[in-house]
Amino acid sequence: MGRLVAAAIFLALLSPLLGCRSVAPVHLWQSPQLGSVGGEKLVLMEIAGPVDTAEGIRDALVAQTSADVPSRSTLAGAPITLLLPDQLQPPSNIELVSNVERAPSDLAVAAVARRSGVRYLLRGEIMHATGKPYSDERLSVVWRLVGLDSHTGTGATPVSIDQSTIEQRYPDLMAVPDPTERLHQAMARHTLGLVRESVVRQNVDLACSYISLGSADVRRGIALAKLGNWPAAEEIWVATLERYPFQTAAWINSAVAAAARQDFEQAKQRVTRAIQLSILLPVHRNLAEETLVWLELQQRDYVKSFDLPDPPGGWRVTHLSDEDSMRSVLGQR
DSSP for 154-202, written as a single string: -EEEEEEEEHHHHHHH-GGGGG-S-HHHHHHHHHHHHHHHHHS-EEEEE
More confident residue, 126 or 89: 126
Task: Give residue 325's pLDDT.
Answer: 46
- Give the closest residue to 44 by CA, choosing from 115, 141, 143: 143
CATH 1.25.40.10 in the chain, residues?
16-26+202-331
Question: What per-residue confidence (pLDDT) applies to 2?
Answer: 56
- Considering the domain 16-26+202-331 in this protein, what is its CATH number? 1.25.40.10
Range with the poorest average pLDDT among 25-39, 113-127, 175-189 = 25-39
CA 28 to chain CA centroid, nearest Å: 7
Fold of 41-196: Rossmann fold (3.40.50)
More confident residue, 136 or 22: 22
Tell me the average pLDDT of the chain.
78
What pLDDT does residue 176 have?
93
For the cut 70, the answer to whether the pLDDT of residue 75 exceeds it is no
What is the bridge-based pairing of β-strands 138-147 and 120-127?
antiparallel
Q: What is the pLDDT of residue 84?
A: 85
Of the two residues 184 and 75, the one the predictor is more confident about is 184
User: pLDDT of 219-239, one tens digit each?
Assistant: 999 999 999 899 999 999 999
pLDDT (0 to 100) of residue 11: 38
CB neighbourhood size of 55 (10 A)? 12
The pLDDT tens digits of the residues spanning 268-321 come to: 999 999 999 988 778 889 999 999 999 999 888 888 766 678 888 788 888 754
Where along the chain do the CATH 3.40.50 domains lie?
41-196
The Cα-based distances of 241 to 21, 200, 209, 234, 254 in angstroms read: 19, 29, 14, 11, 9
Band of residue 202 on the pLDDT scale cut at 50, 70, 90: confident
In Å, what is the CA distance from 116 to each residue of 36, 80, 85, 112?
19, 15, 11, 6
* Residue 208, SS3 per DSSP: strand
Q: What are the residues whose beta carbons fall under 8 Å from the beta carbon of 319, sequence distance 6 or more?
A: none
Mention every residue, 6+ apart, whose C-beta is less than 8 A from residue 29: 76, 197, 198, 199, 262, 298, 301, 302, 305, 306
Q: Which of 106-115, 154-163, 179-188, 195-204 is modeled with the greatest confidence?
A: 179-188
Q: Where are the beta strands (DSSP E) in the chain?
A: 20-30, 41-48, 81-83, 120-127, 138-147, 155-162, 198-208
| Cβ contact 294:270 at 8 Å | no
Chain-centroid distance of CA 173 in Å reads: 16
pLDDT surpasses 60 at 151: yes
Cα–Cα distance measured from residue 80 to residue 119, given in angstroms and rounded to the nearest whole number: 12
Q: Among 73-77, 199-203, 262-266, name the one with the lowest average pLDDT.
A: 73-77
What confidence tier does 5 reach under pLDDT thresholds 50, 70, 90? very low
CA 33 from chain centre, in angstroms, equals: 10
The reported pLDDT for the residue numbered 240 is 96
Q: What pLDDT does residue 305 have?
A: 64
